Structure 1
Amino acid sequence: MVYISNEDLDTFDHLYRINLINSCSGYKSANLLGTKSKGGVENVAVFSSVTHMGSNPAMLGFFCRPTTVTRNTYDNIKNTGFYTINHIDESILEDAHHTSAKYDSHISEFDKTQLISEYKNDFFAPFVKSAPLKMAMQFVEQYHIKANDTILVIGKIVGIYIEDELLEDDGFVNLVKGNVATINGLDGYAIPKSNTRFEYQRPK
């Protein structure tokens, strides 16, 4: 087994260190966040940091890197208060990953990929049409992480759209049936092929 100390990390090439640390946390959710500027320009970007914050109220969070440079997704959310979270499935991996490219705010990633935007129930922000699970989100609050200058953005779920075959009788969303991707590191994608579920556990 390879041992890497904190001192070793400081000697590594920048890209090697980024790949290593981003991979260490394990598989992460693969999501496209859809937003729209006040001027009507659509934006869609891949995120691997969406995390469950609570079920009642239903809330999710995600992390933004420092805003020392323009962050279109963050700016649109703060300016409008609305965004969507869309699961990435196997059929759109390449286009989803391309949304990580840094386009100017007047350019929509929908125009630079085969991804198609759609609107549901008059919600302000665009959804990704092919996503098997999509959520309409409303901004709630944010927290500045002083240690590395990142931002935790928290939003509440105001609507969920799920393909019928993914939703189990007990409310479990079976993402395997939708060929939903996960992210390993920054650019590694995997498609889980099975689920193992256990009953709620109590002390023996």
Structure 2
Amino acid sequence: MLLEEKTINKLERVYRLNLINTITGVKPANLIATRSKDGVDNVAIFSSVIHLGTKPSQIGFIIRPAGENPRDTLYNIEETGFYTMNNISESFIQKAHYTSANLNLNESEFKRMNIDQEMISDFHAPFVKDSAVKFGLKHIESILLPNRCTLVIGEVILIKILDDHINELGEIDLESYDCVGISGLGSYYKLKKLNSFPHVKPDEIPSFE
């Protein structure tokens, strides 16, 4: 199959949506949780989380345009300044997936999808209790992109990881807690570690045949 610009733009809407959402491969699966100033907790699934830097420790994610439906996640982040990201494991994929539904503003996905939450220290936003790797962020900036999506940038200020899932180098073993990835809008994949390679230096590159 060869698709060029004119053909791509003429593809049936759902087909094109699925195609473009899957060509980049497997993406990280995270539940992003917030708490409004009124104390209403919100949690939603995102596959657009990206690492931006380590000093300061910055993580970004993309949120789609609100249109006529207000986005609780973005509104709460900009109103309170804090939110959490929680890795998704195989044991609660289905619950996590259904958090993508557009619920009423005052209805919590935690309650509707029966997702257990926990508060850690005095952090403002809730965490997903069953997530093996979770971290709290402080909002730094929201940047409107040309396609009307928003890039939300936050600094990691709290991390909770079970000791069994991290090694002496600080590397998290995603396979050890059945972490999953997303392809497209609703297909989930297991992650299996295949190999580890050292930091690449020009004089240490092997001779490839």
Q: Answer whether TM exceeds 0.5 for this pair.
A: yes
1:145 aligns with 2:145: yes
Instruction: Give the structure 2 partner of residue 107 of structure 1.
Output: 107
Q: TM-score, normalised by structure 1?
A: 0.97
Q: How does 1:124-143 map to 2 (within 5 A)?
A: 124-143=124-143
Would you identify which runs of 4 or more consecutive aligned residues in structure 1 move more than 4 Å?
A: none
Q: Which amino acid aligns with 1:165?
A: D
The Cα of 1:14 is off from its aligned counterpart by 1.2
1:8 aligns with 2:7: yes
1:154 aligns with 2:158: no
- Paired residues in the alignment total 202
Identity %: 39
Q: TM-score, normalised by structure 2?
A: 0.94
- Residue segments in structure 2 that go unaligned for 5+ positions in a row: 204-209
Distance in 2 between the 1:101 and 1:67 partners?
A: 13
Instruction: Give the structure 2 partner of residue 61 of structure 1.
Output: 60
Q: Which amino acid aligns with 1:118?
A: E
Instruction: Give the structure 2 partner of residue 119 of structure 1.
Output: 119
Instruction: Give the structure 2 partner of residue 199 of structure 1.
Output: 198
Secondary structure of the residue aligned to 1:99 is helix
Instruction: Give the structure 1 partner of residue 43 of structure 2.
Output: 44
For residues 160-187 of structure 1, give each alpha carbon's deviation from its aligned partner in whole angstroms, at most 9, with x where no partner exists. 0001111101110111111001001111
Q: Is the 8 A contact 1:49 1:62 kept in 2?
A: yes
The Cα of 1:12 is off from its aligned counterpart by 1.5
The Cα of 1:38 is off from its aligned counterpart by 0.9
Q: Which amino acid aligns with 1:125?
A: A
- Residue segments in structure 1 that go unaligned for 5+ positions in a row: none
Q: Which amino acid aligns with 2:149?
A: T
What do you get for the CA RMSD once the two structures are aligned? Answer: 0.9
Secondary structure of the residue aligned to 1:26 is coil
